[in-house]
Structure 1
Amino acid sequence: MFNRNTPYESRSGATDRIKSSVSASPSMAIIFLCVISFLLEVVLLSAAPGLGALYMNAFQFDPGSFLTRPWTLVTYIFLHTGLWHLFFNMLVLYFFGTALERRAGNKQLLAIFFTAGILSAIGYTFLSWPIFNIYPGPMIGASGAIYGVFAALTVLEPNLRVYVYFVPMRLKHALLLFAIFDFLMASSTNLDMIAHTAHLSGLFVGLYMGFRMKKMDERYRMTRYIGRW
């Protein structure tokens, strides 16, 4: 939307504002990197399919080889299978990530995002087979990390109003709905090609980190309150 109180900017001015937004917001920086990575995927796969496949294989997470390629615990987050996969992940990160930044700060957002991303990959590796009898194949996407952000924000702001497929509900109810869906659909991972155990792993990491932040915040508030007496 346009702000009537904001004068028209030149292209260089708009570019400066975009750079400022990316540098000020970790969520926007992550979105920017994911978009750049996706464009690189598309260009490579279109112009040089062999090089594109090499790019994907080098940075996707493979449970069978993550000990020899530990960087993939992070790099898989920035790869996506298609435009809609990228769009929905980045849309959710934009709303929930920036909200968590305002509530907890940039450093906490980064800590939650990458911790959830790494541990969701590890959870996907070690929980899929023994619990759901699923062989975990290669995985890409920021969903597990975003679930961590989603869950942490829910702990801090459980009654925040959101829209899920145009239906208004509280954030805590939305998280419960998605958790139930992923749990029920976990056994169909090989059919729908969605790493539901990674989603659940990221969700539990986010809940844990969210409750820790909430407890620390309450302790800090109590200390300040007692200090006034």
Structure 2
Amino acid sequence: MEGKNSILASPTMVIIILCTLSFFLEMIPYVGYFYVSAFQFDPNYLVTRPWTLVTYMFLHTSLLHLLFNMLVLYFFGTALETRAGNRQLLAIFFTSGILSAIGYTFLSGPIFNISPGPMIGASGAIYGVFAALTMLEPDVHVYVYFIPMKLKHALVLFALFDFLMAGSSDMIAHTAHLSGLFVGLYMGLRIKKIQENTARSRYIGRW
């Protein structure tokens, strides 16, 4: 019988498990190639393969890519669950991930003069979680490459890096990161206002 503290009670942990299982499928000879081809996001097939707006988030290019993303998701995702709830975490993760792919499709060329190719990875969705948590807990201290700083400063640092590198040829979807970040900021702000209004109503109701 599973209690409230079960791993499966945390959507963050469920996403991590699914991404890990998906990575094992990617590693299977022959099968992995067709698996990635079927579920990666390609802007050229946005209309004909809409499911890839979701499935690409569960694919990763390498073990290091997977480990880094899942480590960041674990810390930020579980913190956001505590601060905003499981449903909000899922809404932010998937909305940010989907709009990251759409932003990558339509912003890469006009703004940064790059042609977007196929994309995989949960980074855009995780940026959304990161940004939403920053709106709710901006002064929480984190370590970025062993350097302590406030969460809001870390977000600015990562956003600046992605903006400056957006036009590079480093094979990283920086426009997807930035799109997810702005979605997360918006959703985090909405949650913060709702929570503040709820708290204010409860306070007034006591009088």
Bigger shift: 51-60 or 85-94?
A: 51-60
Amino acid at match of 1:111: A
Residue 94 of structure 1 corresponds to 74
1:21 deviates by: 3.2
* Other-structure match for 2:183: 205
C-alpha distance in 1 between matches for 2:143 and 2:34: 39
Percent identity between matched residues is 75
> Aligned partners of 1:161 and 1:30: how far apart in 2?
25
Number of residue pairs matched?
207
* Equivalent position to 1:222, from 188, 200, 207: 200
TM-score, L = length of structure 1: 0.88
Output the TM-score relative to the length of structure 2: 0.97
Partners of 1:112 and 1:148 within 8 A in 2: yes
Match of 1:41 in 2: 26
The structural deviation recorded for 1:52 is 2.2
Structure 2 alignment gaps of length 5 or more = none
- Which of 23, 32, 42 is equivalent to 2:17? 32
Counterpart pick for 2:147 among 164, 167, 172: 167
Q: Structure 1 residue 169: deviation in Å?
A: 0.4
Q: 1:21 aligned to 2:6?
A: yes
Q: CA deviation at 1:54?
A: 1.3
Query: 1:34–1:79: 8 Å Cα contact kept in structure 2?
Result: yes
Question: Which structure is larger by alpha-carbon Rg, 1 or 2?
Answer: 1
Q: Which runs of 5+ in 1 are unaligned?
A: 1-15
Q: Deviations over 1:48-100 (max 9, x none)?
A: 2xx32211110000001011110000000000000000000000000000000
Runs of 4 or more above 3 Å deviation: none
Q: 1:158·1:171 contact (CA, 8 Å) conserved in 2?
A: yes
**Alignment root-mean-square deviation, CA:** 1.5
- Specify the alignment match of 1:186 in structure 2: 166
Report the secondary structure of 1:137's partner residue.
Answer: coil
Matches within 5 A, 1:147-158: 147-158=127-138
